[in-house]
């Protein structure tokens, strides 16, 4: 059974993330979307809120082999715990590549048996990041089409309050 973990801050989960997830869900038997619980990043959304939004997205997209969870500490330890042999990441631009290149080297050092698989961003979403969504939403712009439809109303209200 090929199990993959798709880790990230997902603060919040966007349709760019969804695109990567669709590719991964088609390729692996089981995919865990894992929210990184890292208070040093000062996220806008709590881990519980982020997992809840991802759960809603999984249900609304009808994914049968995707689950949401969260982790703190080393990703390779979490991967081992859930039996994942693969890590999924998305690449938008050269800046992502440099960062991912370093992280991959560290993860290989920590656990050489775990491989990372990368999906290129859909060009239509290559500009899209969680921080774009937060900024647009906080300034009252439309985030429709940038986040999964099932989370749109919740995010719109929540970000408007955040301002
Ligand atoms: P992190 O803080 O771990 O980078 P993010 O939530 O920003 O977490 O992103 C998680 C993963 O999804 C990363 O590999 C990132 O490059 C990828 N990603 C983010 N936005 C997009 C997008 N629009 N298209 C494709 N991949 C993306």
Q: Please work out whether the CB of residue 12 comes within 6 Å of at least one atom of ligand 1.
A: no
Low-confidence ranges of the chain (pLDDT < 70): 163
Q: For residue 31, what pLDDT is reported?
A: 98
Distance 96 CA to ligand 1 centre (A): 8
pLDDT, tens digit, for every residue of 127-153?
Answer: 999 999 999 999 999 999 999 999 999
Q: What is the 3-state secondary structure (H, E, C) of 10-65?
A: CCCCCHHHHHHHHHHHHHCCEEEEEEECCHHHCCCCCHHHHHHHHHHHHHHHCCCC
For atom 4 of ligand 1, the residue with the nearest CA is 8
For atom 15 of ligand 1, the residue with the nearest CA is 90
Strands 86-91 and 115-120 come out as parallel
Question: Could you give all domains of the chain from N- to C-terminal order, each with its CATH number?
Answer: 3-124 (3.40.50.620)
Distance 99 CA to ligand 1 centre (A): 11
From the candidates 70, 125, 130, 134, give the one annotated as an active-site residue. Answer: 130
Q: For residue 40, what pLDDT is reported?
A: 76
Give the DSSP per-residue string, 53-105.
HHHHHHHHHT-SSEEEEEE-S-HHHHHHHHT--EEEEEE-SHHHHHHHHHHHH
Residues 56 and 33: beta-carbon distance below 8 Å: no
Q: For residue 38, what pLDDT is reported?
A: 84
The total of other beta-carbon atoms located within 10 Å of residue 92's CB is 17
From the candidates 17, 50, 89, 134, give the one annotated as an active-site residue. Answer: 17
Q: For residue 61, what pLDDT is reported?
A: 98
Q: For residue 157, what pLDDT is reported?
A: 95
């Amino acid at each position: 059974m090929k199990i993959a973990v798709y880790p990230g801050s997902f603060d919040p989960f966007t349709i760019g993330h969804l695109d990567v997830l669709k590719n991964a869900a088609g390729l692996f038997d089981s995919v865990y979307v894992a929210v990184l619980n890292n208070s040093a990043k000062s996220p806008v959304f709590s881990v519980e809120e982020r997992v809840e939004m991802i759960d809603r997205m999984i249900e609304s997209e009808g994914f049968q082999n995707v689950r949401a969870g969260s982790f703190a500490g080393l990703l390779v330890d979490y991967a081992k715990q859930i039996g994942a042999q693969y890590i999924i990441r998305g690449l938008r631009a050269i800046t992502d590549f440099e960062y991912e290149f370093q992280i991959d080297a560290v993860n290989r050092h920590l656990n050489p048996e775990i491989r990372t698989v990368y999906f290129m961003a859909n060009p239509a979403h290559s500009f899209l990041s969680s921080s774009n969504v937060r900024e647009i939403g906080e300034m009252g712009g439309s985030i429709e089409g940038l986040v999964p439809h099932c989370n749109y109303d919740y995010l719109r209200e929540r970000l408007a309050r955040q301002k």
